[in-house]
Homo-oligomer: A and B are copies of this chain.
Amino acid sequence: MTGTVAARLKELGIVLPPPAKVLGNYVPAALEGNIAIVNQAPVVDGKVKYAGRMGAEVSLAEGEDCARITAINVLGALSAVLDGNLDRVRRCVRLGGFIAVTPEFKDHGRVMNSASDLMVQVFGDKGRHSRFTVGVVSLPADLAMIIEGMFYID
Protein backbone atom coordinates (compact mmCIF):
# COMPACT_ATOMS: atom_id res chain seq x y z
CA MET A 1 0.00 0.00 0.00
CA THR A 2 1.12 3.50 -0.80
CA GLY A 3 -0.12 7.06 -0.49
CA THR A 4 -1.93 9.41 1.85
CA VAL A 5 -4.70 7.03 2.85
CA ALA A 6 -2.16 4.30 3.61
CA ALA A 7 -0.32 6.72 5.89
CA ARG A 8 -3.58 7.61 7.61
CA LEU A 9 -4.38 3.94 8.18
CA LYS A 10 -0.94 3.49 9.72
CA GLU A 11 -1.59 6.42 12.09
CA LEU A 12 -4.88 4.79 13.07
CA GLY A 13 -3.13 1.47 13.67
CA ILE A 14 -5.27 -0.29 11.07
CA VAL A 15 -3.82 -3.07 8.97
CA LEU A 16 -6.07 -3.95 6.07
CA PRO A 17 -6.52 -7.68 5.62
CA PRO A 18 -6.56 -9.34 2.19
CA PRO A 19 -10.16 -10.14 1.24
CA ALA A 20 -11.53 -13.46 2.49
CA LYS A 21 -11.99 -16.08 -0.21
CA VAL A 22 -15.51 -16.20 -1.60
CA LEU A 23 -17.36 -19.49 -1.92
CA GLY A 24 -18.90 -19.05 -5.35
CA ASN A 25 -18.77 -17.34 -8.72
CA TYR A 26 -18.43 -13.84 -7.36
CA VAL A 27 -15.74 -11.48 -6.10
CA PRO A 28 -15.10 -9.51 -2.90
CA ALA A 29 -15.07 -6.21 -4.80
CA ALA A 30 -15.99 -5.25 -8.36
CA LEU A 31 -14.48 -2.19 -10.05
CA GLU A 32 -15.72 -1.03 -13.45
CA GLY A 33 -15.47 2.48 -14.82
CA ASN A 34 -15.57 4.87 -11.87
CA ILE A 35 -17.67 2.65 -9.63
CA ALA A 36 -16.51 0.05 -7.13
CA ILE A 37 -18.98 -2.14 -5.25
CA VAL A 38 -17.75 -4.08 -2.24
CA ASN A 39 -19.59 -6.54 0.01
CA GLN A 40 -17.97 -7.77 3.18
CA ALA A 41 -18.74 -9.58 6.42
CA PRO A 42 -17.28 -9.72 9.97
CA VAL A 43 -14.64 -12.30 9.06
CA VAL A 44 -11.18 -12.35 10.65
CA ASP A 45 -8.39 -14.66 9.45
CA GLY A 46 -10.87 -16.53 7.27
CA LYS A 47 -13.30 -17.23 10.12
CA VAL A 48 -16.65 -15.64 10.96
CA LYS A 49 -16.05 -13.54 14.07
CA TYR A 50 -19.66 -12.54 14.77
CA ALA A 51 -22.46 -15.00 14.11
CA GLY A 52 -26.05 -14.85 15.29
CA ARG A 53 -28.43 -11.98 15.86
CA MET A 54 -27.87 -8.63 17.47
CA GLY A 55 -30.19 -8.43 20.45
CA ALA A 56 -29.47 -12.06 21.34
CA GLU A 57 -26.16 -13.82 20.60
CA VAL A 58 -24.34 -10.56 19.74
CA SER A 59 -24.27 -7.72 22.29
CA LEU A 60 -24.31 -4.03 21.42
CA ALA A 61 -20.59 -3.63 22.20
CA GLU A 62 -19.85 -6.67 20.06
CA GLY A 63 -22.08 -5.24 17.34
CA GLU A 64 -20.07 -2.05 17.26
CA ASP A 65 -16.85 -4.07 16.96
CA CYS A 66 -18.54 -6.19 14.29
CA ALA A 67 -19.40 -3.13 12.18
CA ARG A 68 -15.87 -1.76 12.51
CA ILE A 69 -14.31 -5.07 11.47
CA THR A 70 -16.71 -5.36 8.55
CA ALA A 71 -15.90 -1.83 7.42
CA ILE A 72 -12.17 -2.59 7.65
CA ASN A 73 -12.79 -5.64 5.48
CA VAL A 74 -14.61 -3.41 2.99
CA LEU A 75 -11.49 -1.26 2.77
CA GLY A 76 -9.29 -4.36 2.50
CA ALA A 77 -11.26 -5.70 -0.44
CA LEU A 78 -11.40 -2.26 -2.04
CA SER A 79 -7.64 -1.83 -1.63
CA ALA A 80 -7.02 -5.19 -3.29
CA VAL A 81 -9.01 -4.20 -6.37
CA LEU A 82 -7.16 -0.85 -6.51
CA ASP A 83 -3.73 -2.52 -6.29
CA GLY A 84 -3.23 -1.05 -2.83
CA ASN A 85 -3.80 2.56 -3.83
CA LEU A 86 -6.74 3.89 -1.82
CA ASP A 87 -5.82 7.43 -2.85
CA ARG A 88 -7.85 6.68 -5.99
CA VAL A 89 -11.03 6.83 -3.85
CA ARG A 90 -12.69 10.15 -4.63
CA ARG A 91 -15.67 9.37 -2.44
CA CYS A 92 -17.31 6.76 -0.32
CA VAL A 93 -20.73 7.33 -1.88
CA ARG A 94 -22.82 4.85 0.05
CA LEU A 95 -22.82 2.25 2.79
CA GLY A 96 -25.62 -0.25 3.22
CA GLY A 97 -25.79 -2.24 6.42
CA PHE A 98 -27.76 -5.44 6.81
CA ILE A 99 -27.91 -6.59 10.42
CA ALA A 100 -29.40 -9.89 11.61
CA VAL A 101 -31.62 -8.86 14.51
CA THR A 102 -34.15 -9.99 17.05
CA PRO A 103 -37.53 -8.21 16.86
CA GLU A 104 -36.60 -6.27 20.03
CA PHE A 105 -33.26 -4.91 18.83
CA LYS A 106 -33.20 -1.10 18.66
CA ASP A 107 -29.57 -0.05 18.17
CA HIS A 108 -29.11 -0.36 14.41
CA GLY A 109 -27.88 3.21 14.25
CA ARG A 110 -25.26 2.88 16.97
CA VAL A 111 -23.89 -0.28 15.36
CA MET A 112 -23.66 1.24 11.90
CA ASN A 113 -22.05 4.38 13.28
CA SER A 114 -18.88 2.34 13.83
CA ALA A 115 -18.67 1.74 10.11
CA SER A 116 -19.50 5.34 9.19
CA ASP A 117 -16.98 6.69 11.70
CA LEU A 118 -14.25 4.52 10.21
CA MET A 119 -14.87 5.88 6.71
CA VAL A 120 -14.53 9.46 7.92
CA GLN A 121 -11.47 8.63 10.04
CA VAL A 122 -9.81 7.14 6.98
CA PHE A 123 -10.99 9.39 4.15
CA GLY A 124 -12.00 12.62 5.89
CA ASP A 125 -14.83 14.45 4.13
CA LYS A 126 -14.50 12.07 1.16
CA GLY A 127 -15.72 9.41 3.55
CA ARG A 128 -19.11 11.03 4.18
CA HIS A 129 -21.64 8.75 2.54
CA SER A 130 -25.33 8.19 2.14
CA ARG A 131 -26.35 5.21 4.22
CA PHE A 132 -29.11 2.79 5.11
CA THR A 133 -29.27 0.27 7.92
CA VAL A 134 -31.87 -2.48 8.08
CA GLY A 135 -32.65 -5.32 10.46
CA VAL A 136 -33.08 -8.63 8.63
CA VAL A 137 -34.10 -12.15 9.62
CA SER A 138 -30.81 -13.82 8.78
CA LEU A 139 -27.70 -13.70 6.62
CA PRO A 140 -25.59 -16.39 4.91
CA ALA A 141 -23.45 -18.53 7.25
CA ASP A 142 -25.34 -17.05 10.21
CA LEU A 143 -23.37 -13.80 9.81
CA ALA A 144 -24.42 -11.03 12.19
CA MET A 145 -23.87 -8.34 9.56
CA ILE A 146 -23.03 -7.51 5.97
CA ILE A 147 -21.93 -4.13 4.66
CA GLU A 148 -22.10 -3.12 1.03
CA GLY A 149 -20.05 -0.13 0.02
CA MET A 150 -20.18 1.92 -3.18
CA PHE A 151 -17.16 4.06 -3.97
CA TYR A 152 -16.38 6.57 -6.70
CA ILE A 153 -12.90 5.88 -8.04
CA ASP A 154 -10.60 8.22 -9.98
Q: How many copies does the complex hold?
A: 3
Determine the residue in chain B with the shortest Cβ distance to A81: B130
A146 within 8 A of B: yes
- A130–B29 touching, CB < 8 Å: yes
B132 touches A30 (CB 8 A): no
A3 to chain B, nearest CB (A): 19
A135 touches B134 (CB 8 A): no
Residue in B25, B112, B142 whose CB lies within 8 Å of A106: B142
Any B CB within 8 A of the CB of A4: no
Partner-B contacts on A (CB < 8 A) = 23-30, 32-35, 37-39, 90-91, 93-96, 98, 101-103, 105-106, 108-109, 112-113, 116-117, 119-120, 127-142, 146, 148, 150, 152
